[in-house]
Amino acid sequence: MANQLTGQELYRWHTLSLAGEQVWASDGMPITPNSSIINAPMLDTVIVCGGIGIQSAVTREHVTWLRSQARRSKRIGGVCTGSWALAKAGLLDGFDCSVHWEFLAAMQEAFPRVNLSSSLFTLDRDRFTSSGGTAPMDMMLHLISRDHGHELSAAISEMFVYERIRNEQDHQRVPLKHMLGTHQPKLQEVVALMEANLEEPIDLDELANYVGLSRRQLERLFQKYLHSSPSRYYLKLRLIRARQLLKQTPISIVELSVVCGFVSTPHFSKCYRECFGIPPSDERLVAQTHPLVTARSIAQALPLARPMSLLDQARDESTFASIKILKS
């Protein structure tokens, strides 16, 4: 779409597998690569597309090739569980990294030198990684913005009817059950109560009594498993909800503070700024006034290239998607 809107070949891509053989996505869809990794053309960017069974799919040959690409100062990324392959090759040591929430715990244990994040995607120097689902689209739009400016990425977003480009501060919703397993049902119950009562927060003593714990026991559970005090965790839930409403609805900041359980607007603004580094009024102002060049205006300004079909992204644990960034 970047090529189509600008009328220029800004990007060219190649699909690679280990030996150039056909591979199958997790849903059984066959993918025919352009070539093997050994016969790949000169690349500016390499993206590992990971799927189910990534731990057993990454071979020594994959690792060797990825390391060779990194030595050539390539921009290297991973989509969904593709981060596992990069970490296996040692290419994420000391880097911030995102991965699908199902793999967070496993990667933390397997690769202690990698700084795992629950963010939807992470851009850290010449490494970029994303969780699954629609998060890769947000990441690629940010990369296009870096390469060719915000106006183009915004126009692409419009063409895809994508209402809001999420950023690195947006987090995956990691199911608490996945984080805690089945061993802390009372803690899960308390968090569920918090999430259901954001507008009128429940007192911590009441929460503790509801699940048959003392306040001190509840505080110990939160510190041990969630690395936070109950009050701080509850506050963060309310602020995350406030941020969603701030960006996605026209509700006033005064109303928003009430809906999210704050006693006053100044108190809400103070907590919001401390959490996200920007006052809620400024965050909304940025969203409202950010320059946006529409897809139609770009199409009128530049001749369109040959229309392209939008292919469904197929993920496979042993498929490497590579992009050549062409110099204008």
CATH numbers and ranges of domains, the chain? 2-160+304-325 (3.40.50.880), 176-277 (1.10.10.60)
> Torsion angle, CA of 16/17/22/27, rounded to 10 degrees?
-100
Q: Render the burial of 153-164: b for 16+ CB within 10 Å, e for the rest.
A: bbbbbbbeeeee
Q: Among 313, 315, 321, which Cα is nearest to 54's?
A: 315
3-state secondary structure of 75: strand
pLDDT at 143 over 90: yes
Higher-confidence position of 175 and 208: 208
- Determine if residue 116 is left, alpha or beta; phi over 0 gives left, psi from -120 to 50 gives alpha, anything else beta: beta
Q: What percent of the chain has pLDDT over 70?
A: 82
Whether residue 159 has pLDDT greater than 80: yes
Residue 155 half-sphere exposure toward CB, CA atoms < 13 A: 23
Instruction: Calculate the CA dihedral of residues 135, 239, 123, 223 and round it to 10 degrees.
Output: -100
Residue type, 54: I
Supply the pLDDT for residue 265.
Answer: 93
Instruction: Give tens-digit pLDDT for 19-77.
Output: 999 988 878 899 999 999 989 889 999 999 988 888 888 999 999 999 999 998 789 99
Q: pLDDT tens across 90-100, in order?
A: 999 999 999 88
Pairwise CA distance, residues 207 & 188, whole Å: 12
**What are phi and psi for residue 148, nearest 5 degrees?**
-135, 10
Q: In the predicted model, what is the mean pLDDT of residues 180-193?
A: 81
